[in-house]
Amino acid sequence: MMSQAVEIYDTTLRDGSQGEGISFSVADKIRIAEKLDSFGVHYVEGGWPGSNPKDIEFFKQAAKRKWKNTRIAAFGSTRRKKVAVEDDAQVRLLLEAKTPVITIFGKTWLLHVKEVLHTTPRENLAMIADTVRFLKDKGKYVIYDAEHALDGYQDDPKYALATWQAAQDAGADFVVLCDTNGGRLPTEVENITTEARAKLSCNIGIHTHNDIGLGVANALAGVEAGASQVQGTINGYGERTGNCNLTSVIPSLVLKVGRKSIPKAKVKKLREVARFVDEVANQIPDRRQPWIGGTAFAHKGGMHVNAVQKVAHSFEHINPEAVGNSRRILVSDLAGRSNIVMKAQEMGIQVDNDTPQLKNILAKVKEQEHLGYDYEGAEGSLALLIRKALGRVEPAFDLEAYHVSMRGDALEHVCEATVKVKVGDQSAHTVADGDGPVNALDQALRNALRGFYPVLKKVRLTDYKVRILNSGTGTAAKTRVLIESTDGKERWYTVGVDVNIIEASLQALLDSIEYRLLKK
Ligand SMILES: [Zn+2]
């Protein structure tokens, strides 16, 4: 039993799309299903054909495709009360979805049977059995999702078991215990799953929600007690606080518990899959997401970094590459020499622990951070600072003078910038208009320099963030400007700080241009 394989059942497209702010078009759903198929997910639940036309269209398109690893499942409910199953329109739509797998949910909890369905305990058992048997007779693989399985069992274990048994005896391939309200504890899940495992002979699955932050822990507890299928969503999308997060469950099962599930080689694609789904769902990735988030293997404290430099696993629970993530060294005022060395090496700058300028670089970083600079988000400026301290950068140009002005009336305003730059013994003097002072300055600078450095023609500003520091001092507060630039291939980030927002922006712009010119 301990080495039993665990199947992954993804419900991102159905339960996940119930999450606030999540909405998928049919094309989105197909793209995600294809991604999950190539990742090796065993089942993809595409939607509820009885609930909306979009899901019906998804199944139409899915039926025409070849799936390599995944079996597509349609989701629906048991027949309505007092209706023959073959006359139930919703059940018919499930068959018309033409999927190899059909998942139906039914009631475990007497409270729901009586107060929500307004039917008898006996009719509920018949609804479960009739629907499962009908679908089995049509040749389907049938997964029975026992809604409120854990709450229902807690309330009346005998009746709960009777509902699961009804599904099993009618031929269900899986009975899945659902913590629909998401409020159960791992010990409860383990005890009830153990009980179900002892009484049932069919496969058991586990479907948990994350209302008290235990969705993943509860799924793992279910697996420990004998469940061989885990249902969840990518990135934990779902109603309220979400579903069991497959991006945590999968590596936990494969890399920690040592279960056979998604192949290890595929788990290396985990981060890519999660980011892809975030992208399609138009969600900002959660940087602190376990396993795959941007900060999951980021080291900041100097002593930690020193230890990681010597032995990576001394402060890492696993090799980040196992899930497609990577180690990041953060440089901040907590930094030690090791942070600088590792960061510099990461950026391709030749330094080691014995480089004599190291002490000065560290002192400079700490001094700048004290002034309000932040290099964690501005690696371009940090690379320049290190190279300058090492004496390895020749200034590409000098800004001799600049002027920014703004004039306007009730209808419109215009910003204009003038710059004078010197490259070697040649000078250039340019004027440019812009949508704002920073935009005008950026245009004027690049107009002045691109005659000398044609590569700058492709460079553009893609993001601009302003943060007011020590805002208690009102207008005299310092401003930190962070800008993102791109040349169409690479992106880099630079920072500037000053009491004057234009001056702070200018510093970040100059760093951005200088950083790009380092590469030539
Ligand atoms: Zn659910």
Q: In this predicted model, which residue has the larger pLDDT, 405 or 2? A: 405
**Which tokens hold the place of 181?**
């309200």
C-alpha 241 – ligand 1 centre gap (Å): 11
The number of residues making up the chain comes to 520
Residues 6 or more apart from 22 whose CB is under 8 A from it?
16, 237, 281, 283
Q: Please check whether residue 361 is in contact with residue 386, taking contact to mean a CB–CB distance below 8 angstroms.
A: yes
- Over the chain, what is the mean pLDDT? 92
| DSSP secondary structure code for residue 78 in this structure | P
For the question of whether the overall pTM of this predicted structure is more than 0.85, the answer is: no
Cα–ligand 1 centroid distance for 330 (angstroms): 38
How far, in Å, from the CA of 64 to the mean position of ligand 1? 28
One-letter amino acid at 163 equals T
Sheet holding 426-434, edge to edge: 398-408, 413-423, 426-434
Per the structure block, which two tokens stand in for 273? 């899959």
| Cα 517 to averaged position of ligand 1 atoms, centre (Å) | 53
CA 493 – CA 491 distance, rounded (Å): 7
Quick one: pLDDT band at residue 1, thresholds 50, 70, 90?
A: very low
Q: How confident is the model at residue 306 (pLDDT cuts 50, 70, 90)?
A: confident
User: For residue 394, what pLDDT is reported?
Assistant: 83
Residue 473 has pLDDT above 80, yes or no: no
pLDDT for residue 367: 87
For 103-129, b where at least 16 C-beta lie within 10 A, e where not — what string? bbbbbbbbebbeeebebeeeebbbbbb
pLDDT (tens digit per residue) in 421-449? 999 999 999 999 998 999 999 999 999 99
Select from 393, 360, 358 the least CA-distant residue to 517.
Answer: 393
- Residues 136-164 pLDDT 10s: 999 999 999 999 999 999 999 999 999 99
CA of 180 from ligand 1 middle (Å) equals 5
Distance 17 CA to ligand 1 centre (A): 11
Q: pLDDT tens-digit profile of 330-351?
A: 776 666 788 788 888 888 888 8
Region of poorest pLDDT, from 36-45, 218-227, 269-278: 269-278
Say how many Å lie between the CA of residue 127 and the centre of ligand 1.
20
**Residue 502: CB partners within 8 Å, gap ≥ 6?**
404, 437, 438, 441
CA of 207 to the centre of ligand 1 (A): 7
Q: Which residue is it, tokens 């059995």?
A: 129
pLDDT (0 to 100) of residue 332 = 67
DSSP 161: H
Which carries the bigger pLDDT value, residue 347 or residue 418?
Answer: 418
In terms of DSSP H, where are the helices of 138-263?
149-155, 157-169, 186-199, 215-224, 246-251
Q: State the distance from the centre of ligand 1 to the C-alpha of 15, rounded, in angstroms.
A: 6
Alpha-carbon gap, residue 183 to 188, rounded angstroms: 10
pLDDT of residue 204: 98
